[in-house]
Amino acid sequence: MLFEDLIPEFLLYLEKERRYSPHTITAYANDLGQFKEFLEEQFPQGLQEFKLIDNIVIRAFLGGLKRGGYSITSIQRKITSLRSMFRYLYFKGALEINYAKYVHIPKKPQKVPSFLELSQLNEALRLPDQGSPKGKRDIAILELFYATGIRLIELTNLKTCDIDFSNHEIRVLGKGSKERIVPFGERAREKMLQYKSIRPGLLVGTDDPKVFFLNLKGKPLTPRGVQYIVDKYLEQVTDGKSFPHTLRHTFATHLLDMGADLLTVKELLGHKSLSTTQIYTHTTVERLKKIYQKAHPRARQVKK
């Protein structure tokens, strides 16, 4: 069977058996189509007899992508697409050896997350006009982001019934539908209660959608709407660090700076793996080094 005939069969398997989204299937189709074009130019015998495609051929394909300027993220995805298809062919019995699984996946360099200094954060929290309904809502959003470190989608999906003001905690449905309880402080409680008191006024003529944060027409705030709100304030106190996720990074960094252990921060953020949380230690270590260089008498370079 020709390699190009196997691609539609595999994509149909992803759609019917694995229930992949149309977007994901399109991405797989593009990746595999690009690999087919590579075979046509560099290894045409692989098109006629796909069993001849080994790890050397796959590495040659990936090497061409790297020389072509493709990002690590793009190359990782294409390896994933090839691995998935070759695994399918192996379990189907069409391949005796799954060479794709032996191909190394390059690691994406970890970026140190951007965060706000405490002075920047305090400045941003002073910006909303808290005399207006809009300002009461906006300050409640900012305070809750910083108090809990929740994700953007977790905030927009937060229902009124998920907030326990008496115990200072919220119930969050995170990635993989994993539920967690996250505490918040008195400052966030105060601002959220102030917003809650004016929230019914936003519902005039509309049914309550149950989510806590609404736009000024009484409809649920969308992720894009929340991002616009957060960006509007953060861009006034930063030089580009104007994303809701910046407040999540700030939450984690400030906790670690003040002595919180990594496992606690992992649970609060809802990370599946501790390695995901460890990226924040790079930030705190660099900050400690700067403080040490500035404060220790023998750390500074001696002037001659």
pLDDT digits (tens, 9 = 90+) for 154-194: 999 999 999 999 999 999 998 878 899 999 999 999 999 99
Q: Is the pLDDT of residue 297 over 50?
A: yes
Query: Is 245 labeled as catalytic in the residue annotation?
Result: yes
User: What is d(CA 104, CA 55) in angstroms, rounded to the nearest whole number?
Assistant: 10
Nearest CA to 113 among 14, 233, 247? 247
Nearest CA to 32 among 76, 82, 68? 82
Q: Name the more confident of 244 and 192.
A: 192
Average of per-residue pLDDT values in the chain: 89
Q: What is the pLDDT of residue 220?
A: 96
Tokens 């305090």 found at = 122
pLDDT digits (tens, 9 = 90+) for 259-272: 888 999 999 999 98
Of 175, 289, 290, 300, catalytic: 175
Q: What is the pLDDT of residue 99?
A: 85
Of 151, 189, 191, 241, catalytic: 151
Query: Is 248 labeled as catalytic in the residue annotation?
Result: yes
Query: Is 280 labeled as catalytic in the residue annotation?
Result: yes
Of 99, 195, 233, 280, catalytic: 280
Query: Is 13 labeled as catalytic in the residue annotation?
Result: no
Q: Tokens at residue 286, please?
A: 């660099």
Of 78, 136, 137, 248, catalytic: 248
User: What is d(CA 149, CA 139) in angstroms, rounded to the nearest whole number?
Assistant: 15
Q: What is the pLDDT of residue 254?
A: 92
Q: Tokens at residue 72, please?
A: 């690590």
Average pLDDT, integer, range 217-229: 95
Out of 10-19, 194-203, 261-270, 291-300, least confident range: 291-300
Q: Tokens at residue 40, please?
A: 């046509």
Contact 282, 112 (CB under 8 A): yes
Q: Is the pLDDT of residue 304 over 60?
A: no
First and final C-alpha spacing in the chain? 76
Q: Is the pLDDT of residue 239 over 90?
A: no
Q: Dihedral sign, CA of 18, 19, 24, 27? A: positive
Q: Is the pLDDT of residue 1 over 70?
A: no
- What the chain holds in terms of domains, given with CATH numbers, is 3-102 (1.10.150.130), 118-294 (1.10.443.10)
